[in-house]
Chain A
Amino acid sequence: MHAGITVRVHSVIWQKEETALSIKLLHGVRVPHRKNTAESVPVRIPTPKTVTIPMSMNIGAPAKPVVKPGDTVKVGQMIGEPGGFVSSPVYSGVSGTVKKIDDILLFHGAVSPAVVIESDGEQTPYEGLAAPEVTDLDSFVEAVRMSGVVGLGGAGFPTAVKLKADPAKVDFICINGAECEPYLTGDTRTMLDDTDLLVEGIAMLQKFYSPEKVIIGVEDNKPKAIAKLREATKEMDGVEVAALPALYPQGGEKVLIYHTTGRIVEEGKLPLDAGVIVLNTTTLATIVRYIRTGMPLTERRITVDGSAVRNPMNVFAPIGTPLRDVIDFTGGFKSDPRKIILGGPMMGIATTDLDQPVVKNTGAILCFDAKDAEPPAPTPCIKCGRCVNHCPMNLMPTDIERALDLGRPDLLKELKVNLCIECGCCAFVCPAKRPLVQVNKLAKIELNNYNKKLKAEAEARAAKEAAKNEGKEANAE
């Protein structure tokens, strides 16, 4: 299908022999696993004194606050309503009093209004909580919308938008339990601790979408999760647990889809265009918990790890909890932290601010000491081609960097930098330690500007042409 050599047995191991899928794996890298917390059953941290809950925790429109300073709120009470179609409601994870609503600067650079709640320590559940009635696809999608769930694997895309799909178009549903980022074990815990929620969720998905197959994709470095899921789903028809090679970025959406179904999501298209819906394991479990109990997304499982952390472990923390409280609960730092990462080490975002709140898609807080924090100094590219030969999207990062340096957006277009998923394989393998992900992010902006310019030019030309034609017609008359 596409050129490239991966030195491996190119097959995906399936639960059931007769459905073996033989495809050539996309490129990837063997990152260190460092799943130190895989056996750590999450502990709920003590209720934080204050939480700061941002209204913008999803791709799309931020939620609109529906509380005002002085209001009392309870656990599970809505404090922000969806601000549009591609949006998601926000709920309080503590009971207490709204102190203020203020704009804050989030770790990823966006400014968002945030509701600051002082907790009363009681954790009184909201009396209006009720399990939603789910009878058909529409009521299911509405329940997902009201659960406040967004892509909890990290993407933060409102899940209901993705699930609002014509069942006739859905051939496969992939449950993403790959968890390919080093350190992270939250999804692993979901698969082990919430297996029943996943099974119920899969049954629901089968009922509402009637897909050919539901495939749970798990990297083969999690044998316990694979065994448990296989055991739990062995009576179900059309459900497979695929043990995928632990090759980062196995959990990347396009990668997972290809490795489990053989389908290719084309440029500019969505997974649904290829007949696939992908849901993260924790996302699905959270949806099912809401449908069972009426308790929406108010807290999440977080892996706390890294060389500066005294006791790496998994915790449950209410959304809005300051990072500092989470880290302090685990036992604090054992050495001076020099880098704090929200998410995994391959794609996570670094922050300097321990007062940042936990948000819906905070899967991990990683703290590194000086030795691991400093990015290595880049040296000149020696054109070894490792970036090219490890890119899962088959792009050519070294050429992209050169095209960017030369100021050639036309080349960037040809090199299709827009397809980059920013997984970081190129920069990981680069012996010259070049910041290739940063380069690709910049190149995407350049390409966007170039495309806009081309479009504006084409429009101007068309307008001129139209004006000329009009003039001619007028003359003819």
Chain B
Amino acid sequence: MNENMIVSVSPHIRSNDTTQTIMRDVLIGLVPAVIVSVVFFGLRALLVELFCVAVCVFCEWLFERGMKRPNTISDLSAAVTGLMLAMNLPVRIPLWQAAIGCVVAIIVVKQLFGGIGHNFANPALTARIVMFLAFSSTMATWTAPNFVDAVSSATPLEILKTGSAEGLNLLHLFLGAAGGSLGETSTVALLAGGLYMMFRKVISWHIPVTYIGTVFLLSLLKGGFTFAVAEIFAGSLFLCAFFMATDYVTSPHTNKGRLMYAFGCGLLTCLIRFYGSYPEGASFAVLLMNILTPYINRWSMTKPFGGVKA
């Protein structure tokens, strides 16, 4: 009997949460946005989403196989990256372009830096930006959603760029009946998914609330209440605040750090939206803050209980 005994360091019991259950909850959190994308943009939306998930998982599998590393596709993080990337793409995106985005996300941004836990920037977000620069025409061709009579090709943010919310239907923005990428248009769907993740304790309130709150307050100062509401409902703010900026690996791990980081995201988003040449700034803002994360971690170290300064 003694030969079979196991000795290990305490603790001898562990919580049921694993990387896989966390990633599964993120995927579940994205389900409302996926449903809304199909409602407003048709079945091609689902095709793009499934295609991106498949390519990302395949890239991860292939790279790890080639590098003789342990296979991590079962932790579902590659699937999350694929779905997040799809959420950032317009419905008419050529699939070959989407595939390149997936390769950038998984191979360049994630695996070349050492795989899960080692990337310094959010893979899906960085891939979106790469695609935005590389395929600027297709990436900016927004299709008008179903059930909406407005055929204006201008996205809400392009309208807001003029400095007022005139001509925008806030209810449409809230529900997601607006031009934009697959997963970013419906505030209500993203909110539902975000609340689910908070309920499951996958994310805390610190980043989304601070991020959206900062954008709201700065917009309020700039253009008044309606403008501020339109600013937070438009573009990819909710997607970035709940799903992109909260990526564990690339955001600070103390709550104090998360507040600093999210405030930075909000500030940069507003600066780009108000004064930059691009209508949308959320992706760039989060990417820049990703890069600052190691520094924020240094600035936001916890104060040990009973610790005395040396």
- Name A residues whose Cβ lies closer than 8 Å to a Cβ of B: 2-5, 26, 29, 31-32, 182, 254, 258, 264-269, 336-341, 345-354, 366, 368, 372-376, 379-386, 388-389, 391-396, 398-399, 413-416, 419, 422, 424, 427-433, 435, 437-438, 441
Contact = CB atoms under 8 A, between A and B. Distances in A.
Max count, chain A CB within 10 A of own CB: residue among B13, B21, B253: B13
8 contacts: A2-B303, A4-B302, A339-B7, A347-B11, A382-B249, A431-B19, A432-B117, A435-B9
Contacts of B9: 435, 437-438, 441
A394 to B, nearest CB: 5
B72 A379 contact: yes
Sorted from nearest, which 4 A-B pairs have the closest CB atoms? A385-B253, A424-B11, A352-B5, A380-B117
Contacts of A340: 5
Contacts, number: 181
A368 B12 contact: yes
A394 B5 CA distance: 34
Interface of B: 1-2, 4-15, 17-19, 21-22, 72, 75, 77, 115-118, 204, 248-249, 252-256, 297, 301-308, 310
A4 B303 CA distance: 10
Contact of A396 (B14, B118, B302): B302
Contacts of B77: 382
Given A350-B7, A380-B115, A396 B305 contact: no
Contacts of B254: 3, 385, 388-389, 396
Contact of A264 (B7, B72, B117, B305): B305
A390 B22 CA distance: 17
Contact of A345 (B6, B11, B18): B11
B21 A431 contact: yes
Nearest to B205: A5
Given A4-B302, A336-B1, A352-B7, A428 B310 contact: no
Given A338-B4, A380-B118, A382-B248, A395 B304 contact: yes
Nearest to B18: A431
B22 A2 contact: no
Contacts of A345: 10-13
A68 to B, nearest CB: 32
Given A264-B306, A389-B255, A428 B15 contact: yes
A384 B310 contact: no
Nearest to A348: B10
B204 A384 contact: no
A428 B255 contact: no
